[in-house]
Homo-oligomer: A and B are copies of this chain.
Amino acid sequence: MHMRFTSRTLADGVSENQFTLGDITGVLWLPEQATGQLPLILLGHGGGQDKQAPGVAHRARHYVTRCGFASAAIDAPGHGGRPPVPELKQHAEAIRERVAAGESLADQMPAYNELMARHALPEWHAVIAALRDTTEGGPLGYWGVSMAGALGVRLVAHAPAISAAVLGLVRADGLVAEAAAIKIPVQFLVQWDDEMVPRESALELFDALGSADKTLQASPGGHREVPRAEIESSALFFTRHLGQA
- A residues near B (Cβ < 8 Å) are 190, 192, 206-207, 212-220, 227, 229, 232-233, 236, 240
Contact = CB atoms under 8 A, between A and B. Distances in A.
B227 A215 contact: yes
The SS class assigned to the A binding surface is mixed
A227 to B, nearest CB: 7
B240 A227 contact: no
Given A232-B240, A233-B233, A220 B214 contact: yes
B219 A215 contact: yes
Contacts of A220: 212, 214
6 contacts: A190-B216, A216-B218, A216-B219, A217-B217, A229-B240, A233-B233
A227 B240 CA distance: 13
A207 B207 CA distance: 19
Contacts of A229: 215, 240
A232 B227 contact: no
Give the 8 A-B CB pairs with smallest separation, nearest first. A216-B218, A215-B219, A217-B217, A236-B236, A233-B233, A215-B217, A232-B236, A229-B240
B233 A206 contact: no
Contact of A216 (B192, B214, B240): B192
